[in-house]
Structure 1
Amino acid sequence: MKKTVLILAFLCCVITNSKAQVVGVDVGNIAPEIDLPDTKGEKIALSSLRGTLVLIDFWASWCGPCIKEQPLLIKLNNAYPDKLSIYGVSMDTKKPLWTGAIAKGKLPWTNVSDLKYWQSPVVSDYMLQSVPLNFLIDKNGIILAKNIHGQALEAKIKELLEVQ
């Protein structure tokens, strides 16, 4: 009897631990924290956007596909102003290029960068190998989708927000 109870307790612990959420970059994981300065030098934490659907958008001023996707992001930002937050993380190393691209694109959302490019800790935390790269996270910071662009991104956001 004692042995049976111990086995059941062990199995219970294994099952409980295997379902625990972890910080990581796979769908279902808790998105790693990012806390970088914005264009004014003020740090803005990703977690400060909790409570809304968040699109983490890794981009750079020199990245053609990144710039090409910005009109869609502006459209989504305007369509869901109270339900969707965009958190742009620039991989630029020169502040004038970064801020110039924000001004030229008229990007109204939170934009951050530590201007360290591939030496940034965010690169390893998010296993960043190239841009564009994005992560869609729910109001609790859980990754719902990653690296989706264009119509697939628009459809996923619409599906998630119009159900609420």
Structure 2
Amino acid sequence: MKKLLFILAFVPTLLFAQTKEELIATVKANPKDVQTLQTLQRIGVYDPDYKELQGLFKKLDKKVRKSNSGKLFERYLDALKNTQVGKKAPSITQLDLSGEPYALSDLKGKYVLVDFWASWCPPCREENPRLVKTYAEFKDKNFEILGVSFDKEFANWDKAIKDDKLTWKHVSDLQGWNNSAGQTYGVKAIPQNILIDPNGIIIAKNLHGDALNAKLREVLK
């Protein structure tokens, strides 16, 4: 998807564009520097490859891997491992707009797109009209969307949903980038999404627009 993405601002050097190959080369050249973990975090930040990151992480110096930053990165790797295609989707339970708890499991038996977004994220808002069209086409074909917001302010979240006419179910814990579901799914950039089948198995990640519609037509025959 060729568009700007909102990425967790944890790396000042993120401002300096580098190719994936350059980032990998930097990681391999600095295995004893704890700052290398920040570079490693930037590799495939939108759609990271768990096995690739794990392999690079294992080649870092033991002191780097055992540092506090290293332990945090291991948690991130665990989240990626547990949310790969073919895995059972981890549970999500947060409050909906009425303040009531709502769970991903409440949609069991349907194809569900878990959409990670926020009202303050321009690329997310640009994506919303396409999602509205997708939902209109497939909502009566055993398909639902669960919006998980990285907002902190309820009013902004609520207004964006109404302004963008997002008529599917929405939840949030209003913790911004610390959203518990986002951490469980290893989300470091938005918009991102996960497509789950009626048995709760992840069958695709980060499909948008025509690619998402094509996948839904394939599975919703």
Residue of 194, 201, 204 corresponding to 1:135: 194
Match of 1:158 in 2: 217
Match of 1:117 in 2: 176
Cα distance, 1:150 vs structure 2: 1.6
Query: Higher mean Cα deviation, 116-125 or 26-35?
Result: 116-125
Percentage of identical aligned residues = 47
Cα distance, 1:121 vs structure 2: 2.0
Q: Where do 5+ consecutive residues of structure 2 fail to align?
A: 1-80
Matched, 1:84 2:154: no
C-alpha contact (below 8 Å) 2:117/2:124 kept by paired residues: yes
Letter in 2 for 1:36: Q
Q: Deviations over 1:71-128 (max 9, x none)?
A: 2211121112231100000001011110000010111100000000122321221001
TM-score (norm 1): 0.82
Letter in 1 for 2:86: G
Match of 1:5 in 2: none
C-alpha contact (below 8 Å) 2:131/2:209 kept by paired residues: no
How many Å separate the matches in 1 of 2:183 and 2:113? 19
Match of 2:126 in 1: 68
| Largest Rg, 1 or 2 | 1
Match of 2:92 in 1: 34
Match of 1:46 in 2: 104
TM-score (norm 2): 0.61
Q: Which has the higher contact order (CA 8 A, sep 6+)?
A: 1
How many Å separate the matches in 1 of 2:130 and 2:145? 12
C-alpha contact (below 8 Å) 2:96/2:172 kept by paired residues: yes
Cα distance, 1:131 vs structure 2: 0.6
Q: Deviations over 1:29-84 (max 9, x none)?
A: 01110000011101110011011100000000111121111122111211122311
Query: Higher mean Cα deviation, 38-47 or 73-82?
Result: 73-82
Letter in 1 for 2:197: D
Letter in 2 for 1:78: A
SS at match of 2:190: coil
RMSD between aligned alpha carbons?
A: 1.2
Q: How many residues align?
A: 140
Q: Where do 5+ consecutive residues of structure 1 fail to align?
A: 1-22
How many Å separate the matches in 2 of 1:155 and 1:64? 25
